[in-house]
Amino acid sequence: MLCDICGKVEATVHLTEIVNDKMTKLHLCENCAREKGAEMEEHFGLNDLMSGLADLGSNLEPAAMNAIKCPSCGFTYQDFKKVGRLGCGNCYEAFKKQLDPLLKRIHGANRHIGKVPLMSGEIASEHIELQDLKAKLEKAISAEEFEDAAKIRDKIRAINEKMKLNGGK
């Protein structure tokens, strides 16, 4: 699909807005998107959306949110709310308590498991269970709870075997 503005370059930015049952679609190439950035932001309100979603379910006072800072880049949670983007990869950890509910609302989960075919919901749940078990295994080993660790290890092996039998996924 070509860019809606220049009509010459392949569109890589695709925006859809639905307001009062009226849908607006915009397909732009990277250069036109950059040039139209402020106008698109005004029309599509991405920062407003992120800011509004970031406020939902927040149980912290604004002063307490200002106190939370990323140790790597110095970004505050208020900065995230204003800009709609995080400052660096470490911000995810610094703002974990605030981002978890937001990510669950937006993506349906707060953990990325990669792309999984739609028909394989069972496989997706097995991947999530495996990740949880691996984290529990590390904690059990760190706490020197070796009997629990052995049980968790056996569960991990069983799930891996089941996944191999179901097509090597």
CATH number of the domain enclosing 8: 3.30.60
Assigned domain for 65 exists: yes
Are 52 and 40 members of one domain?
A: no
pLDDT over threshold 90, residue 97: no
pLDDT over threshold 50, residue 146: yes
Contact 69, 81 (CB under 8 A): no
Assigned domain for 99 exists: yes
CA quadruple 80, 85, 91, 97: dihedral, nearest 10: 60
Mean pLDDT of 99-118: 69
pLDDT value at residue 53: 47
Are 8 and 28 members of one domain?
A: yes
pLDDT value at residue 117: 57
Show the CA angle centred on residue 89, arms to residues 113 and 107, nearest 5°: 40
Assigned domain for 116 exists: no
Are 53 and 103 members of one domain?
A: yes
Assigned domain for 143 exists: yes
User: Residue 156: which of 140, 9, 167 has the closest Cα?
Assistant: 140
pLDDT over threshold 90, residue 150: yes
Mean pLDDT of 100-126: 67
| CB-CB neighbours of 158 under 10 Å | 11
Residues in the chain: 169
Q: Which of residues 99 and 149 earns the better pLDDT score?
A: 149
Are 51 and 106 members of one domain?
A: yes
Contact 54, 76 (CB under 8 A): no
SS3 of 141, please?
helix
Instruction: Share the mean pLDDT of the chain.
Output: 76
Are 78 and 22 members of one domain?
A: no
pLDDT over threshold 60, residue 121: no
Assigned domain for 4 exists: yes
Are 24 and 53 members of one domain?
A: no
Are 104 and 55 members of one domain?
A: yes
Determine the residue type at 142. Answer: S
Assigned domain for 64 exists: yes
Are 36 and 72 members of one domain?
A: no
pLDDT value at residue 57: 45
Are 97 and 128 members of one domain?
A: no
Question: Structural domain tally of the chain?
Answer: 3
Residue-number span of the structural domain to which 71 is assigned:
46-110
Q: How many Cα atoms sit within 13 Å of 91 on the Cβ side? A: 16
pLDDT in tens, 6-65: 899 998 888 776 667 777 788 888 888 777 665 555 555 455 445 444 444 455 555 565
Are 105 and 75 members of one domain?
A: yes
Assigned domain for 115 exists: no
E-assigned strands of the chain? 13-19, 22-28
Contact 78, 62 (CB under 8 A): yes
Rg value, the chain, Cα: 22
Contact 102, 138 (CB under 8 A): no
